[in-house]
Structure 1
Amino acid sequence: MENIRTRVVRFTDQTGQIHIGLDEGEVIKRLPGEWRIADLLRVRVDTMREMVATASAEIPAESVRLLAPLDGLTEVWAAGVTYSRSRDARVEETTEPTVYDRIYEAERPELFFKAPAWRVVTDGQPIAVREDSAINVPEPELGLVINAFGEIAGYVVVNDVSSRSIEGDNPLYLPQAKIYAGSCSVSSGIVPVWLTDIAALEIGMWVYRAGAVVFEGRTSTSSFHRPAAGLVPYLTSFMRFPDGVVLSTGTGIVPELDFNLAPGDTVEIRIENVGSLTNTVLRTAEWLDSVGS
């Protein structure tokens, strides 16, 4: 599914120092100085491209540990009900179906805060499900990496883990359903905007339980109900993000109501030309004990 290898990454070297660089597969080319991902998002895309081009010192990829590619004051936000499948799923689960029908057809999208950079996990780290939710689901989404000027600078894979039954009880419970420890995972590299188009990218998700696939789904960004870039002004026109922001663009893959993501499961998400993301599942209490954020 995926064929672009060059990604901007954040990593720790063998001394424990944090750096950023270009992951090109077998090697990572380190960017000079002590730049952060946030520094790349404080400048316009043309300048970011020039900065990224200065990467040179090669480090074997196997000798580093990749971190979530977000730092500083960067935040993650998300959009909802941007695919017809998402609208249909919300209508199925909720006591207030007309709310989701209306937002699907409205010009103004649903937007909500998801996580600050320090609370985001990445590939290979655990995600969590709430103990007080009867139905929990992973939500595979394309994330737009947006700079301080409101320009799309790159793309990531996002898992917007959600407590479906909590939101279904009452739409006003959305923050509790969406914002909790272990609910936000992002792929370990940012694909720069100049390397791929997002008009028709294949998205796939697999959930494994005891080694067997218990859920599989596919969709495409061509099924967006509204242009992904059209979401950006609703977020950036009325707030400033000095270190940039990731806007997760909603999901087109939602399991049926008889599916519940459970501790011990593994979720794999792949987005063509963007990357992959794999996480095991813990309960929130276990997640807090092991990750501590």
Structure 2
Amino acid sequence: MRVIRYVEDSRVVLAAVTDDNAVHPLPFTEFMDVVREAKRHQLSTFRYIQTLISGKRGIEKEVAELNLLVPVVAPEVWASGVTYEKSREARNYETSEKTTGQETCYDRVYHAERPEIFFKSTAARTIGPNAPIYLRSDSNWQIPEPEVGLVITREGEIVGYTIGNDMSCRDIEGENPLYLPQAKIWKHSCAIGPAIRLAETVEDPYNLQMTCRIYRNDQLVVEESANTRQLKRRYDELVSFLIRDNEVFDGTVLLTGTCIVPPNQFTLQEGDRIEIEIPEIGVLSNPVQSLAQQAVAN
């Protein structure tokens, strides 16, 4: 079962999507309200939603016809780095400090007990399906980073899985790892959605197939796939380091690292479209715009 948020007649609607793709509106507007109410009834979120929709018919519209929003208004989005071998290779390729045969900071963190976890976004900077991703104006090498996102409670319980796009400026981080916040955080540099897959309905979160497609002038120019079984660290391990001596909030999203990196010569351009698919969750699709174009539009 998945949970989505959408706008209808200027009203925000939270809805459950069953495995037969029927859409059932729920008497809430925020995902975490459902999670909290389920706990109050001493039920899992899945079982509680089942009680709400049992015997009811879904709406006539399909998910593809709805004006989707971010599935959870995450007060904060955090991200994990260098959790896949492919990510380590990409970071080593772009760094200006690499030397043949010498271990880099990315090599060390890949094998270290403590993972790399960094702040990525706030609710105001995070967008949902079909909203434009913006290109940073002072970078010439920008890519999407497709990732599984964990939706967690303030206690660190994983209550759902979503898709995340952790946009990255490879040239800025490559120039100096201390520039990581600037390489990762800017307006509309993080997308999540299109849905939340309830954690208890995922048979094996370490066997999720992910595909990233990038279109340019309606032509497919990049298509790569990977599987979460390639993840070096476990989700609960990453969460444990995020919440350690830290205050997190209900609905926080933790991105778990990327296993898909476009070819080294590739950079996004205005007008591109990014699609990230995990069949159990859906397809997160976003057009690419420059901040300059957005400023003119406003």
Secondary structure of the residue that 2:223 maps to in structure 1?
strand
| Map of 1:86 onto structure 2 | 87
Tell me whether 1:48 sits opposite 2:45 in the alignment: yes
State the shift of 1:194 in Å: 1.1
Question: Does residue 223 of the first structure (1) align with residue 224 of the second (2)?
Answer: no
Matched, 1:134 2:131: no
Q: How has the CA–CA distance of structure 1 residues 238 and 48 changed in structure 2, closer, same or farther, with 3 Å as cutoff?
A: farther
Deviation at 1:23, TM superposition (A): 2.4
* Distance across 2 between alignment mates of 1:289 and 1:138: 24
Identify if the C-alpha distance between structure 1 residues 54 and 115 changes in structure 2 by more than 3 Å, giving closer, same or farther. Answer: farther
The equivalent of 2:101 in structure 1 is: none
Distance (Å, rounded) in 2 between the aligned partners of 1:212 and 1:113: 34
SS in 2 for 1:107: coil
**C-alpha deviation, 1:200, in angstroms:** 1.4
Cα shift at 1:50: 4.2
Q: Does the 8 Å contact 1:204/1:271 carry over to 2?
A: yes
Quick check: 173-182 or 54-63, which moved more?
A: 54-63
- Tell me how far 1:35 sits from its aligned partner: 4.6
Structure-to-structure mapping, 1:212-251, within 5 angstroms: 212-251=219-258
2:290 is the alignment partner of 1:283: yes
Q: Deviations over 1:140-190 (max 9, x none)?
A: 101111122211101001111111111111111110110101111111210
In structure 1, distance between residues paired with 2:153 and 2:34 = 8
Equivalence for 1:119: 125
Deviates more, 1:182-191 or 1:278-287: 278-287
* 1:41 positional shift: 4.8
In the other structure, the counterpart of 1:77 is 78
Are the equivalent residues in 1 in contact too, given 2:129–2:193 (CA < 8 A)? yes
Which residue of 31, 36, 39 maps to 1:37? 31
SS at match of 1:29: strand
Residues 162 and 288 of structure 1: CA distance in aligned 2, closer, same or farther (over 3 Å): farther
- The letter for the 2-side match of 1:95 is S
* Cα distance, 1:210 vs structure 2: 1.2
The alignment covers a number of residue pairs equal to 283
| Alpha-carbon distance, 1:66 to partner | 1.6
Q: What residue is the counterpart of 1:20 in the other structure? A: 14
**Offset from partner CA, 1:115-159 (integer Å, 9 cap, x none):** 122322112111111121010001110111112221110100111
> Aligned partners of 2:273 and 2:296: how far apart in 1?
19
> Which one has a bigger Cα radius of gyration?
2
1:66 to 55, 65, 68: 68
Question: Which residues in structure 2 correspond to 1:105-254 (within 5 Å)?
Answer: 105-196=111-202, 197-254=204-261
CA–CA separation in structure 1 for the residues paired with 2:294 and 2:189: 10
TM-score normalised according to structure 1 size: 0.89
Distance of aligned partners of 1:289 and 1:229 in 2 relative to their CA distance in 1, 3 Å threshold: farther
Distance, in Å, in 2 between the alignment partners of 1:27 and 1:49 is 15
Are 2:15 and 1:10 aligned?
Answer: no
**Is there any run of 5+ residues in structure 2 with no aligned partner, and where?**
99-103
Identity %: 40
Distance 2:14 2:119 in 1: 26
RMSD: 2.1
Query: Do the aligned residues in 2 keep the contact of 1:39 with 1:243 (CA within 8 Å)?
Result: no
Q: CA shift at 1:51, angstroms?
A: 3.6
Residue deviations 1:214-235, cap 9 Å, x none? 1121111011111223111001
* In structure 2, C-alpha distance between the alignment counterparts of 1:27 and 1:286, rounded to whole Å: 38
Question: Taking structure 1 as reference, are residues 192 and 262 closer, same or farther at Cα in structure 2, changes over 3 Å only?
Answer: same
CA distance in 1 between partners of 2:206 and 2:69 (Å): 28
Q: Which residue of 2 aligns with 1:3?
A: none
Letter aligned with residue 49 of structure 1:
F
